[in-house]
Chains A and B, each alone.
Chain A
Amino acid sequence: MKVTRAECLAWRKIDQETVVIHLAERKMFGLNDIGGRMWEALSAPTTLERLEAIVVEGGLEGANVIDAVERFIVDLAEEGLVMSDEPLEGRGDDAEVVDFMAPGVSGRVPRIEWREEIRQFAGQCHFLSGQSHQCNQHPGGS
């Protein structure tokens, strides 16, 4: 199986985080440091084994590695941020439950740290008829 980034995305590395915008879905995501390193690798179709190696380089060991990578890839796919050449159904579901928040582990597990919506009104200004009040709203809503 190979996984790669989806289209219609923008991203930047900010401090230790990688911030990704899904332009079509109008959403913003924050990936932690190790998640950001995996994100860099996903610029081209990448095997899960390669992604697992990145997590191992980050200090995670044992069975947790596969679980962590699969869980992360499934999370990214559910948000429309990656595509895979094989179905991801079931991946990450039967993982031994890793205590991803345990001391010494959480920073080594790739993760979407946060998700936020971006409200945008430019698109709503196209061919508005009698509804331009929508264009008068501010970007964050009331």
Chain B
Amino acid sequence: MDPVVRNDGRFCIDLGGTIAEFSSSEPDAIHRMRRRFAGFEVASARPVISFIHSPEGGEQLSFSTSVDLKNRKVYLFGEQGISHVDGVLRTVLAVVAAPDLIAHAALLLDGERAFLCCGKPGAGKSTMAGLFPENAVCDELARVGVSPKRVVAKSLPYWKARPATVSLKSIFLLRHGLSNRRIRLSASDAIRELRRHLYWPLDEEKAADATFGTLSEVVQRVPVYRLDFLPDRRVWKTLTEVE
């Protein structure tokens, strides 16, 4: 779908199947948000969630954010409000995208399949994406869903992300190490570890249960490894080893 350039102060992006609309009365804010989500913009569509920015309303504070989950609206007030859209977006997306998982992870393509690389800040997500820029489609945020035939991973917008939808081959929990080594985790250990790298919609019971259901299915259908790695391209051999 080709983006449609609009000048009415709003535009839509596709967050792996969830359409989000951004609007602002401030042209510069729209310009900045479009740059931020470049590549994910789509023609106008019925949004699942709306982000509404207003430069007014931050009289006493530089910005404020208000989330109305019931009506699927996020209000960003103040001139700096849009600077914080990334953080709000991922947590709100965890609710509206359920049962899909929203993971703090990099996604690397290997042919028609992909590796999901999770890790806390400094663990190596961006390092891994930087080592393999031709394979990396995002280095911060990814969406994972299940269908009867496959587990699907989708990249989500962040600074260097580009849209991609692929079958998930494996999941790696990254850790800088003294050598390249991977250890397969049991399904229950995988859940225990992956919980740290997901955005949980815990305030919405049904969404949380659905997310948990997807996570349970994913760890039983996709191998999960702990990966110690050295920051050079030789790690690709370890990533792609066949058991």
Residues facing B in A9-35 (CB within 8 A) are 10-12, 14-17, 19, 21, 23, 26, 28, 30
A139 within 8 A of B: yes
When A118-B195, A127-B66, A129-B64 are in contact, do A136 and B87 touch as well, CB less than 8 Å?
yes
Q: Is the CB of A14 within 8 A of B220?
A: yes
B122 to chain A, nearest CB (A): 8
Contact A122–B188 (Cβ < 8 Å): no
Bitwise interface map of B from 89 to 101 toward A, beta carbon under 8 Å scored 1, else 0: 0011011000000
Q: Are B197 and A122 in contact (CB under 8 A)?
A: no
Q: How far is the CB of B2 from the nearest CB of chain A, in Å?
A: 32
A19 in complex: contacting residue of B84, B121, B216, CB < 8 Å: B216
Contact A140/B120 with A14-B216, A14-B220 known, Cβ cut-off 8 Å: yes
B198 within 8 Å of A by Cβ? yes
Number of B interface residues, CB 8 Å?
A: 40
Query: Does B225 belong to the interface (CB within 8 Å)?
Result: no
Nearest-CB distance from A25 to chain B (Å)?
A: 10
The answer to whether B219 and A14 have CB atoms under 8 Å apart is yes
Tell whether A139 pairs with B198 under 8 Å between CB atoms, given A14-B188, A125-B91: yes
Chain A interface, DSSP helix/strand/loop, else mixed? mixed
* A17 vs chain B, min Cβ distance (A): 4
Query: Which residue of A16, A28, A118, A139 contacts B104 across the interface (Cβ within 8 Å)?
Result: A139
A125:B67 contact, CB within 8 angstroms: yes
Q: How far is the CA of A133 from the CA of B65 in the complex (A)?
A: 11
The interface of chain B, by Cβ under 8 A from chain A, is 61-67, 84, 86-88, 91-92, 94-95, 104, 120-121, 186-188, 191-192, 195-203, 205, 208-209, 212-213, 216, 219-220
